[in-house]
Structure 1
Amino acid sequence: MTRIAFILLCHKDVDAVVAQARGLAASGDAVAVHLDARAPAADWARLRAGLDGQPGVALVERRQRCGWGGWSLVAATIAALRLALERFPDATHFYLLSGDCMAIKSAEHAHALLAAEDADWIESVDFFESGWIKTGIVEERLTRWHLFNERDRKKLFYASLDLQRRLHIRRRLPDDIRPMIGSQWWCLRRSTVEAVLAFLTARADVRRLFRWSWIPDETLFQTLVRHLVPGEEIRSRSLTFLTFTDYGMPATFHDDHYGLLLGQDALFARKISPNATRLRPRLADLWTSGRRDFPQGGDGRQLHRFLTGRGRIGQRFGRRAWEEGGTIGAGRELMLVVAHKRELAKRLVGSIKHHTSMAALDYLFDEEDCPLPDLGGLERGLEKRGRHRRALLRVLYEVLGVERMVICVDPGRLELIRDLSGDRATVRLLEIEAALDDQQLRRHAMRTGLAGESESGLDLLIPTLRQHLEAEIRNLREAGFAGHYRLVAGAPTEDNSRALQAFLDVPAELAGDIARTPHLFDD
């Protein structure tokens, strides 16, 4: 009888991992969970509490601090494998997953597929001749010593690589080992896992080879399975469906990919967007559904390239988001909160979110760390957001499923405000009028880089800065935008309530509640 022990590697979104582990174990299968040791202690405590006493679930206690491309990911995998071998003696197969993976078939379908063939499912092709690596270093992944992680210590990584090249330092590969490469995500039989771990214990030279190589999670198991298992017992492909964007990054699947995913000849898919609020529950139900009638959808990678070549997140026959005519969309409402006092504007936006169902965001065009959902890459970096600002907003409306949105804008962004106000969407503007004292001007200067890294000489800058900010407000008012309202610190609540009512287009009582937000104008 087939029983799968899932090796689940995760580093964030603990609540989703708890649900994922419980869902996989609900079919009678098992799960060994490794949480990245970099995760906050509170996440580890929440994971343990969420899975405490859960049958078929075990947690790796001695966790690794995981870094992409390094040995730590392999070490985490091996630790979880050893735990699963010990805790689940009846497990027949070991399936490696990440917290971003979700089932696209039922447990019955998966068990039947694995029982039908006595084989290991792991992509394993020749490291040097296959052309599997598309970018970056190739043979030097194995033939140089990689003492530093490229993601964390880029300068040292490349300095070390360059030094080894100049000194002609090359690592010698074991004579009896033929390096292979392939996807990290595999499903191996129990006997194969036991053989691989025993081989690693016996061969210090092989451990050393992969311990100091680059991205060993794509080479170690792929090499050793091919070395230890007869070729006819290896199916050289992954049972986890994934594809890559034209940037070379793993593609993220969204709500409109359900049909595409179910049609793939795979058991799981990676990566499912955390914001795919309709897709995730549909896939979560699949594993225990007992369903066996799955469609055949062709080559998902080619289909995904076809769809995304015609628009964002698989919108068939649609153009790319920034080619859509540069419009937010007629019939939508965009409300701009404009204020130099950013803390005040954020406080107001928070109150709007509390009292209404509107989508409300902070300074997404002015602050890098403004929290945004996954938008297929459009949200990454202020430069990209500013380059495709109307497209960014249109996608936000679609992803959030709203027709009305509030965002904060710095008064100095007059060109941005003009651009947005010229859209076919209905755009209204709320200026928050509140005096800035000298200390607030100092903070503004430090935040915007006017003062450099020191406050030295800042007092001389304050009068000029005050004049500059006053000029920005004056220019904003003289621009003559339609639907321009003011919220004034110290004004009667009734006046501010009327301004909010017109700006937000909400009932007077609701606008009054927002106007009476405690400490709204406090410094």
Structure 2
Amino acid sequence: MSITVGSVGNLQCIVFQMAKIAFILLCHKDPDAIIGQANMLTAAGDCMAIHFDARARPEHYRKIREALADNPNVTFARKRIKCGWGEWSLVQATLYAVEAAVEEFPHATHFYMLSGDCAAIKSAAYAHEFLDANDVDFIESFDYFESDWIKTGMKEERLIYRHFFNERTQSKRFYASFELQKRLGLTREIPADIQVQIGSQWWCLRRRTIEWILDFTRKRRDVMRFFRTTWIPDETFFQTLVRHVVPDEEIRTRTLTFLMFTDYGMPVTFYNDHYDLLLSQDFLFARKISPEATELKTRLGALYADDKAEFKISNEGRSLFSFLTGRGRIGRRFASRFWETESTLGRDRELMIVVCKKWHVAKRLLDKLRHVVNVPAIEYLFNEEDTALPDLGGIQATLGKRTRHRRALMRMLFDYYDTDRLIVCIDPASLDLLHDFNGDRSTTKILEIQCQFSDDYLAGHAMRVGLAGEQTPPETLERLLPTIRGDINFESDRIRDAEFENHMILREGDDVEQHAGLIARFLDVGPEKALEVAQTDHLFAD
């Protein structure tokens, strides 16, 4: 609640302004869910500013703009940018949305950060009363160096070195730049009057605080330059600035969004059977809600509009989750679901599989794709032990584990890269993997690259896989080569006989225009980008 002093005639009066929330929504997918979320939250009298990732599909953005055009409580960031996990772009997108909300909604008293995976777990009336009763800012803000908020990986290095590349999509460049700066001693000082803080990006700040922060960003260009090249600034930028401009006694070092993490370091996803658990937590929102938890979303939507709803807060969610998963319980309500046989990659996700016997051809294609489309691409993760993979708690450690927990691994990779589209390479001999992924509720596409195999290549292949050696007589190799060629053709025939939906065959001998057409269908991109990929230099060279 804010208090405004004004005058009418000769009388001075005090106006009590009840909480009005401006939600700051960063999103990049699922336009129908975004539209529903916006209409639900603004129906209670609040407002919303949306930044929809410029990397997302243009038709999705148009759909959102058209559906919400008549809603006066919804505005959009004046500028859209391409966002990447760990990059400054996430902070910049937030600032663009915040600036739009401040300008468009002068009566908003609080600004609340949300993602498309968040959902209200209390009623609007409860949320407004809660904020009225607590005239403070809610943001996790722990000392960067003294706290143990960062468990593993880079710490000081996030700040004292400049990070120009994305670790997830440009890992080679990221680490090459990092190592070069280390070798040359190119460290930098943190601005002297800034004590860096760290915490969750999900905050709720008062209008006065937001205005102070925006004013700070205009005046302190040195601080802005510093944060632009830090790594994962969405965990440090607002957390640091709030502590810099707001007295400590007006800050509650906590988030109002309920979230938990598994032992793998991945966010826990909530499903239909978590409704009672979520309502009992001392939070206003929760993330991540499964896209398939339609019943949960419906019930929470109805709850948000229920002014009479009462809540009994037990707040046992995190301790209960730790207890149950720590005992290894494989249940439907709280335990991790990674290893359940019926687990799915997700109905709204798209897995694109490049199948090719010549691994170097597929890798060359993936290297080109990384520069043309913003989709994470992973090489032969089920066939090659040393394929570069993020640390996912050990499940990625061996080929055996990856294959045994294939769907779990893929789900974790989708979550790690925060994407709904993923490209992987699989050897054509791995027909069981193709069957498994094609049987999932996600969308699966297969681009099979059929290469031409010379006798010299097949002889080298025989040596690489141990069928022949340096001392193998030429006549033995001559008898062996037709068998190897027949085996390769047999693998391709089995894939074709499986009649997979969305199975495309790119043949080495076809022209570039034919290749471009297949790549456009496979990647769902325009003809220009598809042609750029198809024209990859020396794609089929051995």
What is residue 166 of structure 1 aligned with on the other side? 183
What is residue 191 of structure 1 aligned with on the other side? 208
Query: Are the aligned partners of 1:242 and 1:269 in contact in 2 as well (CA < 8 Å)?
Result: yes
Give the counterpart of 1:229 among 246, 253, 261.
246
Give the counterpart of 1:40 among 52, 57, 66.
57
CA distance in structure 2 between the partners assigned to 1:139 and 1:441 by the alignment: 44
State the secondary structure of the residue aligned to 1:133: coil
What is residue 404 of structure 2 aligned with on the other side? 387
In the alignment, structure 1 residue 200 sits paired with structure 2 residue 200 = no
The Cα of 1:244 is off from its aligned counterpart by 0.9
In the alignment, structure 1 residue 257 sits paired with structure 2 residue 244 = no
Query: Are the aligned partners of 1:122 and 1:235 in contact in 2 as well (CA < 8 Å)?
Result: yes
- Tell me: CA distance 1:264–1:164, structure 2 relative to 1, closer, same or farther (3 Å): same
The Cα of 1:442 is off from its aligned counterpart by 5.0
Alignment of 1:300-319 (within 5 A): 300-310=317-327, 315=332
Query: Are the aligned partners of 1:185 and 1:238 in contact in 2 as well (CA < 8 Å)?
Result: yes
Q: Give the letter aligned to residue 20 of structure 1.
A: Q
Instruction: String of CA shifts for 1:417-471, please: whole Å, max 9, x gaps.
Output: 9xx9xxxxxxxxxxxxxxxxxxx9957999xx98999xxxxxx999646854898
The Cα of 1:277 is off from its aligned counterpart by 2.7
CA distance in structure 2 between the partners assigned to 1:298 and 1:391 by the alignment: 29
Which moves more between the two structures, 244-253 or 262-271? 244-253
Alignment of 1:273-284 (within 5 A): 273-284=290-301
State the secondary structure of the residue aligned to 2:294: coil
Instruction: String of CA shifts for 1:39-58, please: whole Å, max 9, x gaps.
Output: 11111111111111112001
Query: Are the aligned partners of 2:321 and 2:335 in contact in 1 as well (CA < 8 Å)?
Result: no
The Cα of 1:415 is off from its aligned counterpart by 9.2
CA distance in structure 2 between the partners assigned to 1:303 and 1:7 by the alignment: 31
What is residue 65 of structure 1 aligned with on the other side? 82
Give the counterpart of 1:219 among 223, 236, 245.
236
- Tell me: CA distance 1:463–1:284, structure 2 relative to 1, closer, same or farther (3 Å): farther
The Cα of 1:386 is off from its aligned counterpart by 3.5
Q: Give the letter aligned to residue 68 of structure 2.
A: L
The Cα of 1:487 is off from its aligned counterpart by 11
CA distance in structure 2 between the partners assigned to 1:251 and 1:262 by the alignment: 16
Q: Give the letter aligned to residue 189 of structure 2.
A: R
In the alignment, structure 1 residue 3 sits paired with structure 2 residue 6 = no
What is residue 104 of structure 2 aligned with on the other side? 87
Give the counterpart of 2:114 among 97, 110, 120.
97
CA distance in structure 1 between the partners assigned to 2:428 and 2:186 by the alignment: 57
The Cα of 1:133 is off from its aligned counterpart by 0.7
- Tell me: CA distance 1:307–1:201, structure 2 relative to 1, closer, same or farther (3 Å): same
- Tell me: CA distance 1:411–1:230, structure 2 relative to 1, closer, same or farther (3 Å): closer
What is residue 193 of structure 2 aligned with on the other side? 176
What is residue 159 of structure 2 aligned with on the other side? 142
Query: Are the aligned partners of 1:256 and 1:313 in contact in 2 as well (CA < 8 Å)?
Result: no
- Tell me: CA distance 1:182–1:442, structure 2 relative to 1, closer, same or farther (3 Å): closer
- Tell me: CA distance 1:445–1:287, structure 2 relative to 1, closer, same or farther (3 Å): farther
What is residue 518 of structure 2 aligned with on the other side? none
- Tell me: CA distance 1:310–1:318, structure 2 relative to 1, closer, same or farther (3 Å): farther
Question: What residue ranges of structure 2 are gaps of 5+ in the alignment?
Answer: 1-17, 343-380, 384-393, 410-426, 437-447, 462-478, 500-542
What is residue 492 of structure 1 aligned with on the other side? none
What is residue 245 of structure 1 aligned with on the other side? 262
Query: Are the aligned partners of 2:262 and 2:336 in contact in 1 as well (CA < 8 Å)?
Result: no
The Cα of 1:308 is off from its aligned counterpart by 3.3
The Cα of 1:170 is off from its aligned counterpart by 1.7
Alignment of 1:121-136 (within 5 A): 121-136=138-153
- Tell me: CA distance 1:143–1:50, structure 2 relative to 1, closer, same or farther (3 Å): same
In our comparison, the structure showing a higher alpha carbon Rg is: 1
Number of corresponding residues: 391
Question: What residue ranges of structure 1 are gaps of 5+ in the alignment?
Answer: 329-364, 368-376, 393-409, 421-439, 454-459, 477-485, 489-523
Q: Give the letter aligned to residue 94 of structure 1.
A: F
- Tell me: CA distance 1:389–1:88, structure 2 relative to 1, closer, same or farther (3 Å): closer
CA distance in structure 2 between the partners assigned to 1:469 and 1:164 by the alignment: 46
- Tell me: CA distance 1:192–1:472, structure 2 relative to 1, closer, same or farther (3 Å): closer
- Tell me: CA distance 1:150–1:289, structure 2 relative to 1, closer, same or farther (3 Å): same
Instruction: String of CA shifts for 1:25-68, please: whole Å, max 9, x gaps.
Output: 01000000000000111111111111111120011241010011
Query: Are the aligned partners of 2:125 and 2:307 in contact in 1 as well (CA < 8 Å)?
Result: yes
Query: Are the aligned partners of 1:252 and 1:272 in contact in 2 as well (CA < 8 Å)?
Result: yes
The Cα of 1:309 is off from its aligned counterpart by 3.6
State the secondary structure of the residue aligned to 2:48: strand
The Cα of 1:297 is off from its aligned counterpart by 2.9
The Cα of 1:388 is off from its aligned counterpart by 4.2
Q: Give the letter aligned to residue 13 of structure 1.
A: D
Instruction: String of CA shifts for 1:460-503, please: whole Å, max 9, x gaps.
Output: 99964685489899xx9xxxxxxxxx999xxxxxxxxxxxxxxx
The Cα of 1:300 is off from its aligned counterpart by 2.0
Which moves more between the two structures, 64-73 or 306-315? 306-315
CA distance in structure 1 between the partners assigned to 2:74 and 2:480 by the alignment: 62
The Cα of 1:245 is off from its aligned counterpart by 1.2
Query: Are the aligned partners of 1:123 and 1:186 in contact in 2 as well (CA < 8 Å)?
Result: yes
Q: Give the letter aligned to residue 125 of structure 1.
A: F
Instruction: String of CA shifts for 1:178-228, please: whole Å, max 9, x gaps.
Output: 111111000000000000110111011111111111111111111111111
CA distance in structure 2 between the partners assigned to 1:35 and 1:312 by the alignment: 38
- Tell me: CA distance 1:320–1:157, structure 2 relative to 1, closer, same or farther (3 Å): closer
